[in-house]
């Protein structure tokens, strides 16, 4: 699936602390699936992120499912990302999965995660 490969693993703000969601993409009726990370300060609530990503992915022919959310603290100066917290609406994402996806993109970063609220 070249189209699926064209979807970026990660789209997050380059700096700051913000909400994020873990989203599973799947072809309707197909086996092929992958998880992507989306986060931005522009989103006041986790569902705002999903409401933006879902139509984009539907256009490409994917079904989206939100696997949960949390927060990302992105310090680009020190090259550190911390994943933590949860989403009230979607529940807590598996931050260990999120961290692995982030590592694919931010290869030279120190990436940590915890289930802490803050």
* Residues labelled catalytic: 46
CB neighbour burial string for 38-62, b if at least 16 within 10 angstroms, e if fewer: bbbeebeebbebbeebbeebeeeeb
Cα 7 to chain centroid distance, Å, stands at: 12
In this structure, what DSSP letter does residue 16 have? Answer: E
For 29, residues 6+ apart whose C-beta sits below 8 A from its C-beta are none
Q: Are 69 and 22 in contact (CB under 8 A)?
A: yes
77 is in an annotated binding site: no
Binding residues for substrate: 19
Binding residues: 19
């Amino acid at each position: 699936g070249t189209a699926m490969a064209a979807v970026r693993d990660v789209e997050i703000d380059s700096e700051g602390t913000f909400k994020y969601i873990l989203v599973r993409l799947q072809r309707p009726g197909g086996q092929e699936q992958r998880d992507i990370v989306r986060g931005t300060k522009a989103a006041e609530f986790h569902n705002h992120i999903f409401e933006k990503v879902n139509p984009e992915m539907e256009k490409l022919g994917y079904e989206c499912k939100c696997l949960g959310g949390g927060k990302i603290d992105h310090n680009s100066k020190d090259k550190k990302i911390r994943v933590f917290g949860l989403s009230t609406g979607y529940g807590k994402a598996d931050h260990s999965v999120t961290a692995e996806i982030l590592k694919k993109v931010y290869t030279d970063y120190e990436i940590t995660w915890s289930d802490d609220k803050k």
